[in-house]
Amino acid sequence: MDRIRIVGGNHLEGRIPISGAKNAALPLMIASLLTDETLTLENVPHLADVEQLTRILGNHGVDYSVNGRRPSQHEGYSRTINFSARNIVDTTAPYELVSKMRASFWVIGPLLARMGEAKVSLPGGCAIGTRPVDLFIEGLQALGAEIDVDSGYILASARNRLTGNRYVFPKVSVGATHVLMMAAALARGETVLENAAREPEVVNLAECLVAMGARIEGAGTSTITIEGVDSLSGACHKVIPDRIETGTYAMAVAMTGGDVVLEGARPDLLQGALDVIAQTGAEIIPVNSGIRVRRNGAGIAPVDVVTEPFPGFPTDLQAQFMGLMTKASGKSKITETIFENRFMHVQELARLGAHITLAGQTAIVEGVSKLKGAQVMATDLRASVSLVIAGLAAEGETVVNRVYHLDRGFERLEEKLSGCGAQIERLAS
């Protein structure tokens, strides 16, 4: 199993290209199930999750091809991929595939809308209600789906086509918003989704569906209206730049000091997070090619944050921000309101010398003057990169184990950081 070795202490100087957003690419890929024509997606990141979803879609009969890369483009960076679901050969998404990636559960919406049936494993074998799978089910039932649960599978049917309806999400859910928007695109009549997620990835999916012939208004607001159509066509659509990757590298610069341009980044996709990073003492400067981040000389100021749905501070940047706050000149509070048990990185940051105490869903971080390198273990995608941020500023050597988590969501992370002066390398197993 690969590891990443970091020797901390170097400033970051240079340019980092921001990849296509994983959280946008996955639902866009799943949208290919809605049409028998080709859906071409540009700026698709080269990530383990993308490769896994490609295999899952292939199980349903989706063919794909990758366009040739530009001569100046490094091997492995974002690509253009064509997806064709002309013939859906299987409407079952088995446990052995769905259990490997939660987002693959989202195929239930397009399969049900286009084929009238779907049999999809509960993700990870979790029970209804323990995580918000219930929102998917309630929403699809509101559109007329008949749903049963049997032996860990959701059995959904809509023999006479889904029917538009009004559905109010009891809580904001990005995944359920994706699924119901896709399902409603082929439903009969009008669907109104209230308390819908407002994230940029939802907007990106809506724009793609509209390019395919869907009638959708209000994406990016809490009320989305979809007028169902009989069929959707193919289209060509571009994945938005990854706002979580953007925020992560901005925090890496704030942590180490330096001056880096994040090429292709869009400030509008994470302005709330950029405002928080600026409060820590880093300069955030929009430029023609993206965002310039620099911190030279000044210390890191402590800042309190609460994770919130967009446009608030993203839960997917919480771990990285905690890594940054470990060296702040004072005490900060980080409150997680989106997911339970998302503080698993605390114990690993403590191995580097961080002072963090937990009080329910709030972490109290007392900044220290220095961190010291150590062996640490990645517990999940975002937690793993928080350890990288801390390691970049720690004295001596830090080795991050189980970096397959990083490969799920960060394209060529060690190459991008080493290109800006970080002493970081992958150690092959």
Q: Is 338 annotated as a binding residue?
A: yes
Pairing of strands 305-306, 283-287: unpaired
Give how far Cα 179 sits from Cα of 62, 74, 137, 212, 263, Å: 18, 34, 10, 16, 31
Q: Is 342 annotated as a binding residue?
A: no
Q: Is 39 annotated as a binding residue?
A: no
Q: Is 132 annotated as a binding residue?
A: yes
> Minimal CA–CA distance to 105: which of 144, 53, 171, 146?
53
H/E run at residue 104: none
- Residue 126 is among the residues annotated as catalytic for this protein: yes
Q: Is 341 annotated as a binding residue?
A: no
Q: Is 327 annotated as a binding residue?
A: no
d(CA 132, CA 139): 11
Q: Is 331 annotated as a binding residue?
A: no
Q: Is 134 annotated as a binding residue?
A: yes
Task: Give the 3-state secondary structure of 309-359.
Answer: CCCCECHHHHHHHHHHHCCCCCEEEEECCCCCCCCCHHHHHHHCCCEEEEE
Q: Is 2 annotated as a binding residue?
A: no
The answer to whether the beta carbons of residues 427 and 6 sit under 8 Å apart is: no
d(CA 34, CA 107): 10
d(CA 299, CA 332): 14
Grouping H, G, I as helix, E, B as strand and the rest as coil, residue 403 is coil
Kindly report each contact of residues 129-133 with a partner whose C-beta sits within 8 Å and lies 24 or more positions away, as own/partner. Answer: 132/171, 132/173, 132/175, 132/176, 133/105
The answer to whether the beta carbons of residues 6 and 423 sit under 8 Å apart is: yes
Catalytic residue among 126, 208, 236, 420: 126
Q: Is 45 annotated as a binding residue?
A: no
The answer to whether the beta carbons of residues 264 and 17 sit under 8 Å apart is: yes
The answer to whether the beta carbons of residues 380 and 347 sit under 8 Å apart is: no
DSSP, residue by residue, 185-225: HTSBSEEEEES----HHHHHHHHHHHHTT-EEE-BTBSEEE
Question: Residue positions in the annotated binding site for UDP-N-acetyl-alpha-D-glucosamine?
Answer: 102, 131-135, 171-174, 316, 338
Question: Residue positions in the annotated binding site?
Answer: 22-23, 102, 131-135, 171-174, 316, 338
Question: Residue positions in the annotated binding site for phosphoenolpyruvate?
Answer: 22-23
* Catalytic residue set: 126
